[in-house]
Chains A and B, each alone.
Chain A
Amino acid sequence: VKTKAAVPLDSFDWGNYIGSGDLMGAPVSCFKHVPMGTSWDDITEGIRVEVLNSDSSLPMKVYWIASIIKLAGFKALLRYEGFDSDSGQDFWSNLCVPDIHAVGWCASGGKPLVPPKSIQHKVTNWKAFLVKRLTGAKTLPSDFSTKVQESMQFPFKKLMRVEVVDKAHLCRTRVALVQQVIGGRLRLVYEESQDGSDDFWCHMYSPLIHTIGWSRSIGHRFKRSDVAKKLDGQVDAPGQLFAKVKDVDQSGEWFKDGMKLEAIDPLNLSAICVATVRKVLADGYLMIGIDGSEAADGSDWFCYHGTSPSIFPAGFCEINSIELTPPRGYTKLPFRWFDYLRETSSVAAPVKLFNKDVPNHGFVPGMKLEAVDLMEPRLVCVATVTRIVHRLLRIHFDGWEDEYDQWVDCESPDLYPVGWCQLTGYQLQPPAMQASRD
């Protein structure tokens, strides 16, 4: 298992990294779980905004109008009105920071717009200039800042109790308490952690967290804690706060113990492996084991829902030219499903049971984003989408070798647009330098 250590470096700048060339940041609308994720479609290049004028000698804060030249996630390359085709003073700004406003905001607060000093002499009648430039142009909705603030509210609160996968034993869950909420990511501390250091980071919509009582209700292993009663302020997180899974009909054709399939290895997200349904739980959940690496007591099984985008029918990798990891110790290579099923006297899980929805996600190979390193889920890293297979994305962590790449679903709450860390106050891991990798 390969993991990274946190690299505290505050000199990384997305603007310099993306530049004004062909590099693209994935649009915010690709990430429905982030602030403004469902109301970003209207933000496009060419839109005018009022923004702080950084080229002024006046003693107070003054603003000027700029247009969006290029978008990368929450960040925009802006050009002050009056610079025409001169890109020399273009600058990147996060559109969700407090100093970006719809055109009209300054006047509503009695603040005059002041052109940058370096172009002040270029135009003799700024009023006529602005009327000509702005008439018929687009600007942000007037309630943009309010929408941003509203979308930054998260329902999970400190001291809420949840059931979460035990990071040391993926086959079971434990009770943990929310200790921190940053941008919808939760720092959970396992209930019995003496010093509060036994923690786990995940997004509030992660499939790894559940309401108290979930494990018992579906028959999942659970590590009971010795904590006798809830302390003051602790409250079970209400069920409606958690991500919903699709209802499934298990009374008809459904997964059965022993059925074979392909699954993303939760201990090595770079690999899709030959796997087996080890136990069928209630409400559509399955315990899955990776063939060839299973502990006799089932302690390395893990839980995926039957509709999970991380499990695939036998043959998925071959059809999509993905390297399938054969069972450890299996020597008859190249691996062939037909032979393997015969040798193990097993059957493949029927194709029709798998999730075949492919959302119109909008990702394109080469797009930059901020992605959680799921092997070290407190880290959010500079990353690139390098391959797309239906709804599955191959995420490359910039500066790291390809062996650290991870397969992630296009709707994963662990993917974020460029600028999300800056917006939420989460620390961003910059691309690895050779020295830091060493």
Chain B
Amino acid sequence: AADTSGRKWEQKQVQIKTLEGEFSVTMWASDDKK
């Protein structure tokens, strides 16, 4: 996906660990392979 400035972003499942436990969220990170 590209935002309005043309940057390429990819959706990533990101792991989060808190004192209450571990879970994942979907975030955007710029494309490492760009």
Residues of A that sit less than 8 Å from B by CB? 41-42, 48, 102-104, 106-108, 110-114, 126-127, 130-131, 134-143
Contact = CB atoms under 8 A, between A and B. Distances in A.
A41 B22 CA distance: 31
Nearest to B26: A135
A111 B17 contact: yes
Given A41-B5, A103-B14, A137 B28 contact: yes
Contact of B16 (A41, A107, A110): A107
A138 B29 contact: yes
Contacts of B9: 42, 138
Nearest to B13: A104
Given A113-B18, A130-B18, 19 more contacts: A41-B7, A42-B7, A103-B14, A103-B27, A104-B15, A104-B27, A107-B22, A114-B18, A130-B25, A135-B27, A136-B27, A138-B29, A139-B27, A139-B28, A139-B29, A140-B29, A140-B30, A141-B32, A142-B12
A134 B14 contact: yes
Contacts of B21: 127
A138 to B, nearest CB: 5
A143 B32 contact: yes
Chain B: interface residue count, which band? 20 to 34
Interface of B: 5, 7, 9, 12, 14-23, 25-32
Which has the most chain A C-beta neighbours within 10 Å: B12, B19, B29?
A: B29
Contacts of A107: 14-17, 22
Given A41-B5, A104-B14, A126 B27 contact: no
A162 to B, nearest CB: 34
Nearest to B31: A141
27 contacts: A41-B5, A42-B7, A42-B9, A42-B30, A48-B27, A102-B14, A102-B29, A103-B27, A107-B14, A107-B15, A112-B19, A114-B19, A127-B18, A127-B23, A130-B25, A131-B25, A134-B25, A136-B26, A138-B29, A138-B30, A139-B27, A139-B28, A139-B29, A141-B32, A142-B29, A142-B32, A143-B32
Contact of B25 (A41, A114, A135, A143): A135
A130 B24 CA distance: 10
Contact of A139 (B14, B18, B32): B14
Contacts of B19: 112, 114
B16 A130 contact: yes
Contacts of A111: 17
Contacts of A139: 12, 14, 27-29
Contacts of A136: 26-28
Given A41-B5, A131-B23, A141 B30 contact: yes
B14 A127 contact: no
Nearest to A132: B25
The 8 closest A-B pairs by CB, nearest first: A42-B30, A107-B15, A107-B17, A104-B14, A134-B25, A138-B28, A141-B32, A135-B25
Nearest to A135: B25
